[in-house]
């Protein structure tokens, strides 16, 4: 255990580079491809200081496992017309099923086949399912394990609510996602991610900006954190609550249900994959969670983002590993009663 702690901490400094090397080719390809689709939407700058006719308070709905375990739909339904609801793509199904239409949905991952599933994949077939078991394995939304059934229901929901959805669509998104959103007739607001420092020599972020002139937004490494960043610096919300932002697994989650299990076992022997996980005690919920090298990195990045803002963040997740001085840990009902 001591060894794994040391290793996971040690590789944190490398995670930025690892992510960059892993993604840069695909990012460039997607951005270049999406250039011809930019006219199908607007720039995210049109959402600057937007409040959607509500209080300037946001609730971010991440897609962590707590979203299902600590079902908060009753409170959400009560407050949804008064606060800005921002959903990560992975929580859209959960929202729509519960008749909650978010004010904004954020998507950014460049994966060529998986992300479209969060919006319903019109081309899903058994052959595709055989090739990728991600949705059967993942711990985020267990309804997705019944893949065809969930996909058909999601297609119905996104076809029904598509026109009402505002999507903060990252230029790195896949061809499949962009085409699906256009088909859903959603309102698209494009943005670029920072991929490096634009003041650096030969910066790719600067090249991307010079080509499409879209704002550069720091994503924090994942969709939930990007949603927080959009609430903070695009919409200008000074109070941001979050649910489903765990960056961790419940202690009873089997390793093969974790996000990177398939890749870890592919490249590292089974005895070595334990080095990529770490147990963390949450003193507020008084329970243990465990995290992996990527979620742990997301947490580190998120805390850095929190140290660089004037807004106050309330973690209403009821679990996970986001706790500390820079974040208030309260339940959603208390948050809503106090501020809405």
Partner 1 sequence: MALLKGNYKLQKTVTKGKLTEEEKLEILLEKKAHKKLGGSMVYVSKKKVNWDLKPK
Q: Helix axis angle, 12-34 relative to 175-183, nearest 10°?
A: 50
Smallest separation, CB 173 to partner 1 (Å) = 11
**In whole angstroms, how close is the CB of 334 to partner 1 at the nearest point?**
29
Give dist(CA 239, CA 76) in Å, integer: 16
Tell whether residue 233 is a contact of partner 1 (CB under 8 A): yes
317-336 mask for partner 1 (x: CB under 8 A)? --------------------
The helices-and-strands tally (H runs, E runs) of the chain is 15, 13
Closest CB to partner 1 among residues 14, 254:
14
Which of these ranges, 104-112, 148-156, 177-185, 238-246, lies near partner 1 under the rule CB under 8 A? Answer: 104-112
Write the CB contacts of 256 (distance below 8 Å, at least 6 apart in sequence): 137
**Number of residues engaging partner 1 in binding (CB under 8 A):** 66
| Beta strand residue intervals within the chain, DSSP E | 42-43, 55-61, 83-88, 104-107, 166-170, 187-193, 216-217, 239-243, 249-250, 277-282, 287-292, 312-315, 328-329
**Candidate list 40, 42, 51, 209; residue touching partner 1; CB under 8 A:** 209
**Min separation Cβ 227 and partner 1, Å:** 12
The answer to the question of residue 55 lying near partner 1 (CB under 8 A) is: no
Residues 236-275, one symbol each (x = binds partner 1 by CB under 8 A, - = not), give: ------------------------x--xx-xxx---x--x
Nearest residue to 135 via CA among 117, 154, 155: 117
Helix residue spans in 99-234 (DSSP H)? 126-131, 134-137, 147-161, 175-183, 204-212, 223-229
CB 313 within 8 A of CB 306: yes
- Is residue 27 a contact point for partner 1 (CB under 8 A)? yes
CB of 182 to partner 1, least distance (A): 22
Q: Does 19 bind partner 1 (CB under 8 A)?
A: yes
């Amino acid at each position: 255990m001591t060894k794994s702690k040391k290793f996971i901490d040690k590789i944190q400094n490398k995670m930025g580079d690892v992510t960059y090397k892993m993604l840069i080719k695909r990012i460039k390809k997607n951005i270049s491809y999406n250039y011809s689709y930019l006219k199908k939407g607007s720039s995210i700058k049109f959402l600057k200081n937007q409040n959607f006719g509500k209080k300037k308070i946001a609730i971010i709905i991440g897609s962590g496992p707590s979203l299902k375990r600590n079902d908060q739909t009753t409170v959400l339904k009560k407050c949804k017309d008064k606060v800005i609801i921002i959903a990560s793509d992975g929580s859209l199904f959960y929202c729509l099923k519960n008749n909650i239409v978010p004010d904004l949905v954020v998507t950014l991952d460049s994966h060529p086949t998986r992300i479209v599933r969060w919006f319903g994949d019109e081309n899903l077939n058994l052959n595709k399912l055989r090739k990728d078991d991600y949705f059967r394995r993942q711990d985020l939304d267990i309804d997705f394990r019944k893949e065809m059934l969930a996909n058909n229901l999601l297609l119905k929901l996104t076809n029904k609510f598509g026109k009402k959805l505002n999507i903060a669509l990252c230029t790195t998104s896949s061809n499949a996602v962009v085409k699906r959103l256009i088909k859903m007739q959603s309102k698209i607001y494009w943005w670029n991610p920072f991929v490096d420092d634009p003041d650096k020599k030969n910066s790719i972020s600067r090249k991307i900006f010079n080509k499409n002139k879209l704002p550069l937004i720091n994503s924090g490494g994942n969709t939930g954190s990007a949603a927080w960043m959009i609430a903070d610096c695009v919409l200008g919300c000074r109070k941001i609550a979050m649910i489903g932002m765990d960056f961790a697994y419940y202690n009873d989650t089997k390793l093969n249900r974790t996000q990177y299990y398939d890749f870890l076992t592919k490249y590292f022997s089974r005895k070595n994959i334990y080095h990529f996980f770490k147990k963390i005690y949450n003193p507020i919920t008084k329970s243990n969670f465990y995290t992996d090298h990527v979620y742990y990195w997301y947490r580190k990045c998120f805390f850095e983002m929190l140290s660089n803002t004037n807004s106050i963040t309330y973690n209403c997740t009821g679990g996970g590993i986001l706790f500390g001085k820079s974040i208030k840990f309260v339940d959603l009902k208390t948050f809503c009663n106090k501020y809405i």
